[in-house]
Amino acid sequence: MLFDKPREECGVFGVFSPKKTDVSKLTYYGLFALQHRGQESCGIFVNDGVEFRSYKELGVVNDVFTGERLTELGSGEMAVGHVRYATTGNADKANAQPIEVRHMRGRFALAHNGNLVNSAELRRGIEKDGAIFHSTSDTEVIAYIITRERIKTQSIEEAAGLAMDKLCGAYSLVIMTGDKLLAVRDKNGFRPLCIGITDDGAYIAASESCALDAVGARFLRDVEPGEIIVFDKDGMKSIKTHCNKAPRSVCVFEYIYFARPDSVIDGCSVHKARLRAGAFLSVEHPVQADVVIGVPDSGIDGAIGYAARSGIPYGMGFIKNKYIARTFIAPGQKSREDKVRIKLNPVVNTVREKRVVLIDDSIVRGTTSGRIVKLLRDAGAKEVHMRITSPPFINPCYYGTDVDSSENLIACRHTVSETAKIIGADSLGYLSVESVKRIAGEEGGYCCACFNGQYPTRLPKDAGKDKFENNISD
């Protein structure tokens, strides 16, 4: 990781193409656009009407899916894809998605973004019946819950609906069966999920609208919290039985950091939300300065917003080495300061002898922020005023990100002024919780639990990422 940022769990993508087109390549392009949501493993399942073909592997989309592999996956009527970080379960291949399930009535492939709060209880119940698990992820629990309903019901959508009564937490799902594709979003709508249609008439479901753009699909609409959308030979069908059964609580950090700026989530442009965050910040924490700069890439939008509202000129403060890949391993014994410098170099001309406002989206541990401030001072900045386009992290997230351990969160252990001192800034200002709720619109409906502790669901009995990892007795 370049900087210590929270990490999103996953991105999902599905396509239903009655004309049997090159669905594996469409999915490849879609996953490539969603790569920022998970870089640990990826997978694609294709259904060509006769069989499922699949490939999943640790690695990024562009490495895992070579032209040869995509040719093997080939064309078909449907496909489902996934990119993943590990938030529950280890980073091993057993947890890669989509997962495939073979049951009495057939089979399905499942891709999941989010985290349940009741997976441990659900799992224990299933295990009592002699079930076996191959992985430690929530996704296998969801698969079981759906399967157990499926063998008692007539259709996958019915089974999914019954499963929603049991599942609690965050889940945006794409499910592919022999003849249907489903898009399912949990009742709170924690994670984004939207649908679109290509000129060829192929339906697309994707975590973010940028993936629709990448495959040339037209945005239709967001999947509503609690909604099940079914694509099959008869077209598209919506099941809203579970809608409006829980308060809407979209993760506000999707707007601040996770999602791509060119995506539009639940009606609000991510880029616009970030500009607004920067603008609000300039009102809440004004400062006399000569230039506003952002930490690439996620602080740039906020910086533009701050600059525009404050009237202080925007400048390009850093050059990021664009050949830095996720897999960049800085060899050798150089200090971590040096490693930051290899990735990020200040533009001396922008900051020398200047009072600088430095915008970033968040601070987790604070170490990287400290290094970045130092780079600016070494480059001749007279003052560095750090401004953060979100409130301090002080609570764990149970809905599919890795903000979980208070001991790693600088804001849990230090006041704002202490933090400013630790990172070496002349001043430090966070966006207020009140403002962050308004960045994507005035009507509310956002989960800010990591900032304010107000969780929209009950809490897990046994929170913690490795909850299924360690019992190996006979």
* Residues contacting 150, CB < 8 A, separation 6+: 103, 105, 156, 159
Residue 312 near a copy of itself by CB under 8 A: no
Of positions 166, 238, 246, 262, contacts a copy of itself by CB under 8 A: 262
Q: Per CB under 8 A, does 346 bind a copy of itself?
A: yes
36 or 187, CB closer to a copy of itself?
Answer: 36
Using the rule CB under 8 A, is 1 a contact of a copy of itself? no
For residues 178 and 247, which CB has a smaller minimum distance to a copy of itself in the complex? 178
Binder of a copy of itself out of 20, 106, 444, 453 (CB under 8 A): 106
Gap between the Cα atoms of 356 and 372, Å rounded: 12
- Report DSSP state, residue 36: G
Q: Which is nearer to a copy of itself, 375 or 409 (CB)?
A: 375
What's the token pair of residue 447? Answer: 């989960």
Work out the angle at residue 122's Cα, subtended by the Cα atoms of residues 116 and 128, and round it to the nearest 5 degrees.
155
How many CB atoms lie under 10 A from the CB of residue 151?
A: 10
CB 122 within 8 A of CB 48: no
Token pair 């499926």 is found at 150
Window contacting a copy of itself (CB under 8 A); options: 243-251, 348-356, 385-393, 432-440 = 348-356
Q: Taking the complex as a whole, how short is the minimal distance between the CB of residue 226 and a copy of itself, in angstroms?
A: 22
Q: Which is nearer to a copy of itself, 338 or 443 (CB)?
A: 338
Q: How far is the CB of 454 from a copy of itself (least distance, A)?
A: 29
Binding pattern to a copy of itself, positions 208-227, x when CB under 8 A? --x--xx-x-----------
DSSP 101-119: EEETTEEEEEEEES-BSSH
The two tokens of residue 13 are 């993508």
Q: Which range, of 88-96, 243-251, 398-406, 421-429, touches a copy of itself by CB under 8 A?
A: 88-96
Residues in 352-391 that interact with a copy of itself by CB under 8 A? none
Site size with a copy of itself, rule: CB under 8 A: 105
> Going residue by residue from 133 to 172, which x/- string records binding to a copy of itself, judged by CB under 8 A?
xx-x------xx--xx-xx---xx----------------
Asked if 252 touches a copy of itself (CB under 8 A), the answer is no
Q: Are strands 318-320 and 344-346 parallel, antiparallel or unpaired?
A: antiparallel
Is 10 one of the annotated active-site residues of the chain?
yes
Answer for the pair 87, 400: CB distance below 8 angstroms, yes or no: yes
Binding flag, residue 131, a copy of itself (CB under 8 A): yes
- Short-list 14, 15, 25, CA closest to 67: 25
Options 253, 430, 446, 468; binder of a copy of itself; rule CB under 8 A:
468
Least separation in angstroms between CB 328 and a copy of itself = 6
Q: Which residues contact 387 (CB under 8 A, 6 or more apart)?
A: 281, 282, 285, 287, 302, 306, 357, 358, 359, 360, 428, 429
Q: Which of 327, 353, 407, 442 binds a copy of itself (CB under 8 A)?
A: 327
CB atoms within 10 A of CB 121: 16
Cα–chain center distance at 417: 30
Which positions are annotated as active-site residues? Answer: 10
